[in-house]
């Protein structure tokens, strides 16, 4: 490729990126507008909520349970190394889970599970003209498809995160009790002597932010699919990767903001 070719290709790439951002902004605006303009399709919201919840719950619980277990194991091992006995295992596990790992891990798993499903479903609807059909039948894909999914994520993800808080802490207890021989009362005291409501809120608030990030990105990738079955595959993969990366990046900024606000 000669210089001109490279510059042209780069320019085209940048233009395409700018266009994508523009369309994403339009979608966001349209979502906000429709939230005010028309009644919400609650039936669809409920359908999506049960779908997302049922699809994701087993995987998120399992994932965070093992995360809690490994946290306990690592904490126990290092504090044994320094202090000759496992100290503050409950504190470390519960703080790490509630503030950071449970919202992030749950969101990543949900992005891979429910987010991918949404992108694939909307993508298929796009390439088979079902989205166009919605327009001809008097409704709008933002109102009928996207808002219900967004709300469903918004309500379900925080619930999944709370379940994960418990399953992670429970996983930590299993290892502490069985492997590290820490009495249950000590494990619980380690948690409740230190944990405050703001620590819980820290992770809880994050989960709302992540729910919006994942659902907006996956819906956007879905309804902008082109190019048949191959296109659906591409946009689904892109949706998952982009939403996972965005969750991790957003995590830093949300943490920074929450810390500045003292919710930490």
Q: What x/- string results for residues 63 through 82 when contact with other proteins is judged by CB under 8 A?
A: --------------------
The secondary structure of 66-97 as a DSSP string is HHHHHHHHHHHHHHHHHHSS--SHHHHHHHHI
Rounded Cα distance between 206 and 258, Å, is 9
Q: How far is the CB of 133 from other proteins (least distance, A)?
A: 4
> Residue 138 burial (CB < 10 Å; 0-12/13-18/19+)?
exposed
Q: How far is the CB of 72 from other proteins (least distance, A)?
A: 43
**Residue 85 or 132 with smaller CB distance to other proteins:** 132
**Residue 142 or 180 with smaller CB distance to other proteins:** 142
Which of these ranges, 112-120, 124-132, 167-175, 240-248, lies near other proteins under the rule CB under 8 A?
124-132
The residue from 79, 139, 237, 255 that contacts other proteins (CB under 8 A) is 139
Number of residues forming the site for other proteins (CB under 8 A):
16
The residue from 74, 79, 130, 224 that contacts other proteins (CB under 8 A) is 130
The residue from 8, 20, 128, 264 that contacts other proteins (CB under 8 A) is 128
**Residue 132 or 189 with smaller CB distance to other proteins:** 132
Alpha helices in the chain (DSSP H): 3-37, 42-83, 89-96, 102-110, 116-127, 130-136, 141, 147-178, 184-192, 197-223, 228-260
Check binding of 15 to other proteins (CB under 8 A).
no
Check binding of 192 to other proteins (CB under 8 A).
no
Rounded Cα distance between 148 and 142, Å, is 9
CA–centroid distance for 13 within its chain: 28
Rounded Cα distance between 252 and 257, Å, is 9
**Residue 130 or 246 with smaller CB distance to other proteins:** 130
**Residue 29 or 80 with smaller CB distance to other proteins:** 29
Residues in the chain: 264
Q: How far is the CB of 56 from other proteins (least distance, A)?
A: 19
HSE-CB for 156 with a 13 A CA cutoff:
28
Q: Which of residues 24-63 bind other proteins (CB under 8 A)?
A: 30, 33, 37
Buried b (16+ CB within 10 A) or exposed e, 197-225: eebbebbbbbbbbbbbbbbbbbbbbbbbb
The residue from 140, 177, 195, 233 that contacts other proteins (CB under 8 A) is 140
Token pair 């009362």 in the structure block, residue: 185
Q: How far is the CB of 130 from other proteins (least distance, A)?
A: 5
Which of these ranges, 76-84, 112-120, 121-129, 196-204, lies near other proteins under the rule CB under 8 A?
121-129
Q: Where on the chain is the footprint of other proteins (CB under 8 A)?
A: 30, 33, 37, 121, 125, 128-130, 132-133, 135-140
């Amino acid at each position: 490729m000669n210089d001109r070719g490279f510059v042209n290709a780069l320019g085209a790439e940048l233009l395409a990126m700018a266009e994508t951002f523009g369309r994403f902004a339009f979608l966001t605006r349209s979502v906000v507008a429709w939230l005010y303009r028309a009644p919400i399709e609650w039936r669809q919201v409920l359908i999506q909520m049960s779908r997302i919840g049922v699809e994701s719950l087993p995987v998120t619980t399992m994932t965070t349970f093992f995360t809690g277990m490994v946290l306990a194991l690592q904490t126990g091992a290092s504090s044994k190394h320094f202090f000759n006995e496992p100290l503050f295992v409950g504190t470390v596990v519960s703080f790490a889970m509630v503030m950071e790992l449970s919202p992030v891990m749950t969101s990543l798993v949900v992005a891979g599970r429910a987010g991918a499903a949404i992108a694939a479903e909307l993508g298929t609807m796009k390439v088979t003209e079902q989205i166009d059909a919605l327009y001809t039948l008097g409704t709008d894909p933002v109102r009928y498809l996207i808002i219900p999914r967004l709300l469903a994520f918004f309500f379900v993800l925080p619930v999944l995160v709370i379940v994960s808080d418990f399953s992670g802490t429970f996983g930590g207890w299993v290892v502490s009790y069985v492997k590290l021989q820490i009495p249950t009362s000590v494990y619980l005291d380690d948690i409740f002597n230190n944990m405050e409501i703001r620590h819980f809120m820290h992770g809880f608030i994050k989960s709302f932010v992540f729910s919006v990030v994942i659902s907006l990105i996956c819906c956007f990738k879905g309804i902008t699919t082109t190019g048949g079955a191959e296109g659906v595959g591409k946009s689904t993969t892109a949706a998952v990767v982009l939403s996972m990366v965005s969750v991790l990046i957003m995590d830093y900024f949300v943490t920074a903001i929450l810390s500045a606000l003292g919710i930490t």
